[in-house]
Amino acid sequence: MTKGMVCAPQPEAVEAGAMALKRGGNAVDAAITCALVQTVVDPMMCGIAGFGTMQLYLPDQDHHGFIDFHTTAPASATETMWQDQIKSQARDGFGFILHNRANESGYEAVMTPGSLKAYAEAVAEYGTFEWKDIIQPAIEHAEDGFVIRPHVDEFWSAANVMGRMSVVDKLRDCPATKEIYCDENGDTYPVGSRVKNPGMKQTLERIRDGGAEIFYSGDLAEEIASDMADHGGRLSLDDLKNYKTVRAEPIWGEYRGHKVSCGQPPGGGVMILEMLNILEHFDLGAMTHNSADYIATVAEAMKFATIDKDNLMGDPAFDDVPVKTFIDRQQAGRYADMIRSGEKANVIRLGEPEESKDTTHVTVVDDAGNCVSMTHSLGMPSGVVSPGMGFMYNGCMGAFDPRPGMPHSIGPGKRRFTAMCPTIVFKGDDPYVVIGAPGGTFITMGVLQAILNVMDFDMTMLEAVAAPRFTANSNTIDVSNRIPHFVTRELEQRGYPVVRNPFSYVFAGVHGIRMEDGDRGRRWDGGADPGRDGIALEV
């Protein structure tokens, strides 16, 4: 048996990952087992037709790197395809609302998926189990069906969020999707209901027996491409055949004497490092946690990083993304001086709506020192299920800027920025905090605050992920409902617009594991965000 810990938002998936460790698998085996079960029991937060990024620290294999599996725009996508449909931009700067909703729901919203290829490559290169043993727990969960948890129901039942199309409307739009997830009245099933999806089981069995490549170049790929062509989708067989993951070295930073490793663009790792560089100029630990001084200081760092992301971030395969500018310590010092002088950063937005949060995460460590932190997603789910296949496709075209000539404009083969930032903080040469989160553009802000909570306020991992959070992806500071009104009144007196969210746990769903030396050797301290339904399970 391998000892270790698994932390994720879905208890069923965490248990499957933990059982992989108990059967002698390593952290990679456990992480991918967990991820595949997540695709079954939380089918709109992630899926085999989704995307993500994975940090692998594997000292027993002398490997530390990333598998980046962001979606790519189909070859037939063009800069001008939606320029006459623009309604507004999201307030947090991620995605646009179109009059025809084609970037949010339906076949046109689908980009070339990378998740299944990344799962299979990780197992083949770094795991110890056979592929069939990795995927079998997901098949068993698909056969049993999954029970609707409170967070799934909350996600389904949410009304239009600041202009976004509601999830239930997406589920009703596609007949094959509606058949799985809606009753005879077109309503989603309530908490505690068991949802059966035989098409998912059959698809996973085909992938078990034929390998992941049948999804990209085999008979399953041909069926996917045919369904896309029949319904006006842009994803083609050539798009699937040509998809490749991207391998990358970590980008390194430092905070309070600790090394920090994050991922390359188009992920959000450089934002984490930039914000930490700015905030290292302040004695945050001397401030009262979540006081007006603390929130204003951290919020300004968030805003400066957001402005740089909006202006400088693109797909490095297409654009010159100045990573050194993001993590430049002298620039961080200038930003810190501006914050100290009372200057407020100005984040420019077109329109008001907010980005969807359709993502999940898994963190795993094992007793060999191996660490995996993986964030994966459907982006904003398209609502599309091909008849008989069971899985939902990503809706990632909604993340592009439909205006031509912009850093985030649509382009064939292009990847779009996401805030995904699986991160490892090291104490000396050993991993100390392994962390990540789902939550749209709130991901970087949630992960940042959890790191600060551990590093500056000496919180346990559970305390760090459970503490009240705020975010400043725009000029407005959004706060969770557990931040006191006397604090927000002081912020308003300082000239900050403040919006209070009705939820107590909000702004990403941070999941992490902290590793410390104890009397009996190395021990793990896990924290699953209470705003989701997950657990941290040690075996």
pLDDT digit string, tens, across residues 13-47:
999 999 999 999 999 999 999 999 999 999 989 99
Q: What is the pLDDT of residues 307-325, one digit of tens each?
A: 999 888 878 888 888 999 9
Within 10 A of 194 (CB to CB), how many other CB atoms are there? 10
Distance (Å, rounded) from C-alpha 7 to C-alpha 413?
A: 33
Position 518 pLDDT exceeds 80: no
Reduced to 3 states (helix: H, G, I; strand: E, B; else coil), residue 119 is helix
Q: Where are the beta strands (DSSP E) in 238-299?
A: 246-248, 251-255, 258-262
Q: Domains for the chain: give ranges and CATH numbers.
A: 4-47+71-243+388-399 (no CATH), 248-353+419-538 (3.60.20.40)
Position 357 pLDDT exceeds 60: no
Within 10 A of 449 (CB to CB), how many other CB atoms are there? 25
Q: How far is CA 382 from the centre of its chain?
A: 16
Distance (Å, rounded) from C-alpha 25 to C-alpha 354?
A: 40
For residue 467, give Cα distances in angstroms to 247, 358, 453, 504.
34, 22, 8, 10
- Residue 241, sorted as left (phi over 0), alpha (psi -120 to 50) or beta, turns out to be alpha
CB burial class (10 A; 0-12, 13-18, 19+) of residue 176? middle
Q: Where are the beta strands (DSSP E) in 445-496?
A: 470-471, 477-479
Closest CA to 19 of 35, 6, 8: 6
Which stretch of 167-181, 254-268, 375-389 has the lowest confidence by average pLDDT?
Answer: 167-181
Distance (Å, rounded) from C-alpha 413 to C-alpha 242?
A: 10
* The one-letter amino acid at 253: G
pTM to 2 decimal places:
0.94
Q: Which residues are catalytic?
A: 359
Distance (Å, rounded) from C-alpha 316 to C-alpha 305?
A: 18
Q: Which residues contact 492 (CB under 8 A, 6 or more apart)?
A: 498
The share of the chain scoring above pLDDT 70, in percent, equals 95
Reduced to 3 states (helix: H, G, I; strand: E, B; else coil), residue 293 is helix
Q: Which residues contact 379 (CB under 8 A, 6 or more apart)?
A: 50, 51, 71, 111, 356, 358, 359, 394, 395, 396, 398, 399, 418
Q: How many residues does the chain have?
A: 539
CB 272 within 8 A of CB 445: no
Mean pLDDT, range 39-68, rounded to an integer = 96
For residue 311, give Cα distances in angstroms to 397, 419, 472.
20, 15, 17
Position 484 pLDDT exceeds 50: yes
Position 332 pLDDT exceeds 80: yes
